[in-house]
Structure 1
Amino acid sequence: MTAWDRQAANGSRPRRESVDLSDHPDLVVVYLGFRVGHWQGLKALLGIGRGLAQMRRERPDGLLAHENLVYGLTHIGMRQYWRDLESLEAFTRSDPHKTWWRDFGRDPAGNGFWHEAYRLSGGMEAIYVGMPRRIGLASFAAARDPQGPFMTSRQRLAA
């Protein structure tokens, strides 16, 4: 039983705690979501599940933490903490991510995907593909096509 569990069990005042991020000046936090829009999307979702299981087993260089999230019955997601943008980019350019993203881009099968990235050193960026409604940063910020100098995460973070 953790200290958090003991506090909850005995009704004592909860422990208040913060974090010291000084050892992680290049930290990148990424939120991701996948929305099943059609029954065929379950196949893509299973592919993501296999990739996530592989990620947990192999722990890519630079991945500090990974947490699964549930946004709704047909909308799942995750939050990841990366040491720096370079390690995140290296992961996205390798399998299984590279292959999944390529295949999803060719045929999303009526499903939606999104991510938002936040850098401790400054900058935020997002991409939304096939989402039925605007969410996250898109729920209040103006839309912009991810083309030209706004095509990659790195370029969007610098914009």
Structure 2
Amino acid sequence: MQVRQSVDLDAYPDLVMILLGFRVSRLRGLPALLRIGKGLRMIERDPPEGLLAHELFFFALNHVGIRQYWRDLDSLERFTRSMPHAGWWRDFAKGNNGAGFWHESYSRSGAMEAVYIDMPEPVGFGRFAPSLDPTGPFLTARARMARRAA
């Protein structure tokens, strides 16, 4: 017998879903992946305020995916600017570590944004949308989500 269900999202008017990917392109990227894995286990054991659900999956053996649901953008931003996330990001952003990272954010309000770092080929929105440098007024996810087509 088939069971069909849906969900009532009325209690989550500011819901944000973020899809993340981490792709190892060289052996020296494995330590970075292992550090990320350790951090993800920490998040699962002790979820930050506002994180509603966290799921891990694989696009390929060298491409890990993470899907997270956040109560609102404020909660997500607080987490990304605090430790341990701020440390992970600082370490990754130091440069060429044999791995690429990307994320796409989708808000219940309809706003969406993305960033791709050292990915060997386009993924997600990057497969069809023109690129935009994530600098200046588009440095943060919030700024990119607020941007509207001119």
Report if TM-score (shorter chain) is over 0.5: yes
How many Å separate the matches in 2 of 1:108 and 1:50?
A: 20
How many Å separate the matches in 1 of 2:131 and 2:101?
A: 16
Within the candidate set 88, 95, 98, 2:76 is matched to 88
Which residue of structure 1 lines up, in the alignment, with residue 3 of structure 2?
15
Q: Work out whether 1:103 is the aligned partner of 2:101.
A: no
TM superposition shift of 1:122: 2.2
SS at match of 1:142: coil
How many Å separate the matches in 1 of 2:93 and 2:146?
A: 24
Which residue of structure 2 lines up, in the alignment, with residue 9 of structure 1?
none
How many Å separate the matches in 2 of 1:69 and 1:150?
A: 29
**TM-score, normalised relative to structure 1:** 0.90
Shift >6 Å, 4+ stretches: none
Within the candidate set 111, 136, 139, 1:148 is matched to 136
TM superposition shift of 1:17: 1.1
Which residue of structure 1 lines up, in the alignment, with residue 123 of structure 2?
135
How many Å separate the matches in 2 of 1:107 and 1:145?
A: 17
SS at match of 2:21: strand
TM superposition shift of 1:149: 1.0
SS at match of 1:40: helix
Which residue of structure 1 lines up, in the alignment, with residue 33 of structure 2?
45
**TM-score, normalised relative to structure 2:** 0.95
Consecutive unaligned residues in structure 1, runs of 5 or more: 1-11
Which residue of structure 2 lines up, in the alignment, with residue 73 of structure 1?
61
SS at match of 2:78: helix
Output the aligned Cα RMSD.
0.8
Per-residue CA distance 1:36-88 (angstroms, 9 max, x = gap): 01111110011001111111111100000000010001100110000000000
Which residue of structure 2 lines up, in the alignment, with residue 29 of structure 1?
17
**How many aligned residue pairs are there?**
147
Query: Could you tell me which amino acid in structure 1 is paired with residue 102 of structure 2?
Result: W
Query: Could you tell me which amino acid in structure 1 is paired with residue 83 of structure 2?
Result: D
